[in-house]
Structure 1
Amino acid sequence: MQFCIIQPDKMDIVFLGVNDAGMQIYEWLCDRNEVDVRALLTEPDQLDIVRQVDPDFIVSVGFDHLVPPEVLNIPSEDAINLHPSYLPYNRGKSPNVWPLIEGTPAGVTLHSMGTEFDTGDIIAQKQVETDFSDTGKVLHQRLEDAQFELFTETWPNIKSGDIKYSSQDDADGSYHTKTDFVELCELDPSEEINVKTLLDRLRALTFPPFDNAYLDINGERYYVDVEIRKKDDKDDEKSDGLISSY
């Protein structure tokens, strides 16, 4: 938890966050002349600080806890969250994984915080392209970059109060839990599966240095990562150097 010195005639913000994108946006906000980031909170037992500060905005990026309604109602303007998915798709955990497996849109969304995870009206969002060569780690980094871009691009409208909200269409949405991710990591050696479906699963779970996908063979556990390359001109050059053996 961190505190900033109060400056008069500035927008008061309490920031909730802990991940890399959150820290980048927190530091960016601290450099704005029009802003006082009064506190950086990373744990739910610190949320009473919001009542003490009575800010104009709560800004959440990477805060991994549900914020209760009595806290969300404190800011005079709004409590907003930046989520690395194209809402209403992929609410909840591991939003960098599911677009590669389920084919749902990947992206980032700035939205008003609701009483459930990743609900609330949308302020702005940006879709992020994916490729069959993407891994979970590659898409994670692309989503982090897009979060910073979306927030800084939208900030002038937030500052001026010119925010246009649109509701989420729950009928088209999806939600995933930590349990969904854990179950995804365990591979069944006897399962018959389409090759592309398996590759989608493996590349989504590839996030070095973490060991995610695994299977157990003869009492031993093996971890699986995958690398997929798109063909380019250099591949034609490499083919000229093939060595034949008889």
Structure 2
Amino acid sequence: MSTDIDVVFLGVNDAGMRVYEWLCERSEVFVHSLLTTEEQLTVIKDAEPDIVVSCGYRHIVPESILGVPEMGCLNLHPAYLPYNRGANPNVWSIVEGTPAGVTLHYMDSSLDTGDIIARREVEPDFADTGKDLYQRLEDAQVDLFKENWPDVINEDTSVLEQKEDEGTYHRTNEFEELCEIDGEEMVRTREFLDRLRALTFPPHDNARIEIDDETYYIDIDIRRE
């Protein structure tokens, strides 16, 4: 079996595992390791792979690691960059009405700001919950990676540079604040429904409200006629 391309994989979520397993099946690829923690990144220095692939990895990779693989470090992000860099992009696409989609890009020292190799929009629907959109984004990530992998390993990619002053970025604490529903707040109906459906992700309890010293969790189900 040919092992022309030596890969170290970073990831932990469902889309990441699907991409990892697909790479393991490629005759032209040897997947050296699957890493999920920051402490394991030293493996990349020891292995000196041709390329690093990340999908679902939750840590920033330092420049000292990014410079090791000759073919660079790739990341799959479940957002249509430059929109929704950072955490919970499926949620913010619904809440803020920004484009939903997926992006394959080279990693740099910041979060989700590297040069874009390919991206694809995923059409949202008013009946979508955060979970519905998340699952479609996972499928789209896997498809986008498979389609662009041959160009990546042949070093036949044309990239789009991201501009730091474009797009949006969200931290995990913003998601936590979004989950806290104020019973006294005046809201617009459509915006509030968007917020509730974005936070609906069973079996997780996200949206919550305090009523008479009791905490209630809220999910929503929107159906088309």
The reply to whether TM is greater than 0.5 is: yes
Partner of 1:184: 178
Mapping for residues 1-246 of structure 1, pairs under 5 Å: 9-231=3-225
One-letter amino acid of the structure 2 residue matched with residue 25 of structure 1: V
Unaligned runs of 5+ in 2: none
One-letter amino acid of the structure 2 residue matched with residue 97 of structure 1: V
The alpha carbon displacement at 1:169 in A equals: 3.0
Please report the TM-score for the alignment, with normalisation by the length of structure 1: 0.90
The alpha carbon displacement at 1:9 in A equals: 4.9
The alpha carbon displacement at 1:159 in A equals: 2.1
Q: Per-residue displacement from partner, 1:47-88 (whole Å, max 9, x unpaired)?
A: 110011101101000110000000000001111100000000
Moved more, 219-228 or 8-17: 8-17
Unaligned runs of 5+ in 1: 1-6, 232-246
One-letter amino acid of the structure 2 residue matched with residue 184 of structure 1: L
One-letter amino acid of the structure 2 residue matched with residue 56 of structure 1: D
Bigger Rg, which one: 1
How far apart in 2 are the matches of 1:9 and 1:38?
10
How far apart in 2 are the matches of 1:91 and 1:198?
23
Q: Per-residue displacement from partner, 1:119-162 (whole Å, max 9, x unpaired)?
A: 11000011100011100000000000000000001011112211
One-letter amino acid of the structure 1 residue matched with residue 182 of structure 2: D
How far apart in 1 are the matches of 2:94 and 2:50?
38
Partner of 1:240: none
How far apart in 1 are the matches of 2:157 and 2:2?
24
How far apart in 1 are the matches of 2:166 and 2:154?
32
Aligned residue pairs: how many?
Answer: 225
The alpha carbon displacement at 1:170 in A equals: 2.8
Counterpart secondary structure, 2:45: helix
The alpha carbon displacement at 1:210 in A equals: 0.6
Counterpart secondary structure, 1:47: helix
The alpha carbon displacement at 1:8 in A equals: 6.4
One-letter amino acid of the structure 1 residue matched with residue 124 of structure 2: T
Residue 3 of structure 2 contacts residue 27 of structure 2 at CA under 8 Å; is this kept in 1?
no
Counterpart secondary structure, 2:89: coil
Counterpart secondary structure, 1:193: coil
Post-superposition, which runs of at least 4 consecutive aligned residues in structure 1 deviate over 6 A?
A: none
Q: Per-residue displacement from partner, 1:4-61 (whole Å, max 9, x unpaired)?
A: xxx7651001000011100000000000000001111100001110011101101000
